Amino acid sequence: MNEALYNAVFCYGESKIDPFAKCDVDFDRIISDMKLVGYELSSFNIVHQIMLEQLDELIRTKGKVIEEAMDLDNRDAYCRDKYGLSFKDIDALDPTNDIEWDIKSGQVIFYLKPEAKHKEGEYFTFFKKNFDQFISKTGFNYTTL
Which helix (H) or strand (E) segment holds residue 15: the answer is: none
Residue 111 within any structural domain of the chain: yes
How far is it, in rounded angstroms, from Cα 43 to Cα 53? 16
Residue 82 CB burial class (10 angstroms; 0-12, 13-18, ≥19): exposed
Residue 7 within any structural domain of the chain: no
Residue 8 within any structural domain of the chain: no
Residue 118 within any structural domain of the chain: yes
CB 39 within 8 A of CB 24: no
Residue 112 within any structural domain of the chain: yes
Could you report the per-residue pLDDT of 35-53, keeping only the tens digit for each? 998 988 888 889 999 999 9
**Amino acid in position 17:** I
pLDDT at 1: 47
Q: Which of 12, 4, 80, 92 is nearest to 47 (CA)?
A: 12
pLDDT at 54: 96
Residue 9 within any structural domain of the chain: no
Residue 3 within any structural domain of the chain: no
Instruction: Please measure the distance between the N-terminal and C-terminal CA atoms of the chain and give it in whole angstroms.
Output: 35
* pTM of the predicted protein model: 0.84
Could you report the per-residue pLDDT of 7-24, keeping only the tens digit for each? 666 665 566 667 888 899
Ranges under pLDDT 50 in the chain? 1
pLDDT at 103: 84
Domain that holds residue 51: 14-142
How far is it, in rounded angstroms, from Cα 75 to Cα 116? 24
Residue 1 within any structural domain of the chain: no
Q: How many domains would you assign to the chain?
A: 1
